[in-house]
Structure 1
Amino acid sequence: MSEFPHTLKIVTVWMVVGLLIFLGFKVHEHRQQRTRFEADGEVVTLRRAADGHYHWPGTINGVPVDFLVDTGATGTALPAGLARAARLETGGTVTSSTAGGLATGTLATADLELQGGVRASRLRVVVLPGLDGALLGMDVLGRLRISQQGDTLTIDLRDQR
């Protein structure tokens, strides 16, 4: 085998360049993800994500979750797939008013833990089949002292209610 054909060389070079660009974006995304959340034991700091929302990492019954902080939601809501993964027992139908209109879901009870030390045991949650991601509502957020300045949301954990 003497040499690769010229076209194959060009395709290979472009594939390597594309791969390097992709990996660069992934590294950048990972760094942003890491710096969106900070906790020091007394204060949790969340920075607005690229999607314009605040996200708080945590778990539901030990299953990792990236909660979207939703101060407009009365309660915490979970997608049906997450409820299944967390092995939540659902029962009782409920109709919820969402940004997209009325949605029918079921009630469940879950143990919620947020990074930084916030816990809610046997929290009543709503499971909505059409929901894209977990929403952290005022049933949890209302127990905390929250302040917002610019693109930073600060949660003071010293006086959890």
Structure 2
Amino acid sequence: MQASDPTAKLGKGFALIAWLLVLAVIYLLFDDAIANKLNPNQQVQSVVNAAGEAKVTLSRNASGHYVGTLQLNGVDVVFLLDTGATVVAVSPEVAKRTGMPQGQPYQVNTANGITTAYQSRINSLKLGDIVLRDLPASIVPNLTSSKGGTEILLGMSALKHLEFAQQANQLQLKQRN
């Protein structure tokens, strides 16, 4: 029986560590690329013209949807722009994180069928330089997201205050003062 060589064990240990580091770097690169495909508007670009109009340009994601990051009551949340949603819809987790009150229950008809939602209000919603205040919203218990409940549906209670126009794979939102 041969005694094991300590330098061989050490070499195998360093090789294992090197492979783990390579795999970690590959994971981080692909994770970032996937996140950018799902949410190409993580850093929303906006401008304010001389007349005081704020304009935001959103890019479509790989699935053809407009997804981005905004601030809801000062907290970053991921949104999906949904012109079919009457009001801004949030999950209970987002409502709790952003301090939204849970009001009276009411029935809503969603893509998943009829469910109970709760009336609420948003103090402030900030998308780039666009700022909206005191918006009706709903807390929808079965609203789920791939991000653990961080996604909201940006519905017409917010969008009706904006002008929007789509060209190719971009959507421009404009707030007039």
Residue matched to 1:100:
112
Instruction: Indicate yes or no: 2:165 matched with 1:147.
Output: yes
Asked if 1 retains the 8 angstrom alpha-carbon contact of 2:105 and 2:119, the reply is yes
1:134 corresponds, among 136, 143, 152, to 152
Match of 2:46 among 24, 36, 39: 39
Q: Secondary structure of the residue that 1:130 maps to in structure 2?
A: coil
Structure with bigger gyration radius: 2
With over 3 angstroms needed to count, the CA separation of the structure-2 counterparts of 1:31 and 1:111, relative to structure 1, is: same
After TM superposition, the structure 1 = structure 2 runs for residues 118-129 of structure 1, keeping only pairs within 5 Å, are 118-129=130-141
CA distance in 1, matches of 2:36, 2:84: 29
Moved more, 102-111 or 33-42: 33-42
Q: Is the 8 A contact 1:45 1:153 kept in 2?
A: yes
Q: 1:110 to 1:23 in 2, by over 3 A?
A: same
Q: How many residues align?
A: 159
Displacement of 1:87: 2.0
Q: Give the TM-score normalised by the residue count of structure 1.
A: 0.83
Task: Give the one of 19, 40, 43 matched to 2:24.
Answer: 19
TM-superposed deviation, 1:9: 5.5
**Stretches of structure 1 lacking an aligned partner (at least 5 in a row):** none
Shift of 1:5: 6.5
Shift in alpha-carbon separation, 1:97–1:123, aligned structure 2, 3 A = same
Work out which of the residue numbers 3, 7, 13 in structure 2 matches 1:2: 7
Cα distance in structure 1, aligned partners of 2:8 and 2:104: 69
Query: Which structure 2 residue ranges, 5 or more long, are not aligned?
Result: 1-5, 49-53, 145-150
- TM-score of the superposition, structure 2-length normalised? 0.76
Amino acid at match of 2:78: D
Identical aligned pairs, as a percentage? 28
Taking a change above 3 Å as real, the CA distance of residues 122 and 147 of structure 1, as seen in their structure-2 partners, is same
For 1:112, the equivalent position in structure 2 comes to 124
Instruction: Determine the structure 1 residue equivalent to 2:91.
Output: 79
Contact 2:107 2:115 in 1 (8 A): yes
By how many angstroms is 1:10 displaced? 5.2
Shift of 1:73: 0.9
Shift of 1:84: 1.1
The structural deviation recorded for 1:101 is 1.0
- In the other structure, the counterpart of 1:88 is 100
